[in-house]
């Protein structure tokens, strides 16, 4: 299963494509250099296959690579960061 994660600023979300099909997304509100993550959704056809985790990992890697920071209001993103402490330095308070 090949996937691609891209930032779609006009939609205020990162999307994950699995074999060219939209499999999920995580939405954000930009606040200057900080992105406030509010919601994550995975298409039911792709649930329980690690797509959500792949989406968040690639999203956070892209944000880290560009020197960004995040505020987490989405429970899925919060749980991911709790399980992967290497991403905690990206978080900040609103």
In this prediction the pTM is: 0.95
What are the two backbone dihedrals, phi and then psi, of residue 37, each rounded to the nearest 5 degrees? -85, 125
Q: In sequence order, what are the residues at sequence separation of 6 or more whose Cβ sits closer than 8 angstroms to the Cβ of residue 27?
A: 12, 13, 37, 38, 39, 40, 74
- pLDDT tens digits in sequence order for the chain, 94 residues long: 689 999 999 999 999 999 999 999 999 999 988 999 999 999 999 999 999 999 999 999 999 999 999 999 999 999 999 999 999 999 998 7
What is each CA distance from 88 to 8, 58, 74, 83, 85, in whole angstroms? 23, 15, 15, 10, 5
Confidence (pLDDT) at 32: 86
Domains and CATH numbers, the chain: 3-90 (3.40.630.30)
- In whole angstroms, give the CA distance from residue 37 to residue 21: 23
């Amino acid at each position: 299963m090949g996937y691609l994660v891209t930032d779609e600023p006009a939609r205020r979300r990162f999307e994950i494509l699995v074999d060219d099909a939209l499999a999920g997304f995580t939405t954000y509100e930009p606040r200057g250099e900080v992105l406030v993550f509010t919601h994550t959704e995975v298409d039911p056809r792709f649930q329980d296959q690690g797509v959500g985790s792949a989406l968040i990992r690639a999203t956070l890697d892209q944000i880290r690579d560009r020197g960004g920071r995040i505020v987490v209001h989405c429970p899925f993103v919060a749980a991911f960061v709790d399980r992967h402490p290497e991403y905690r330095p990206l978080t900040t308070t609103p």
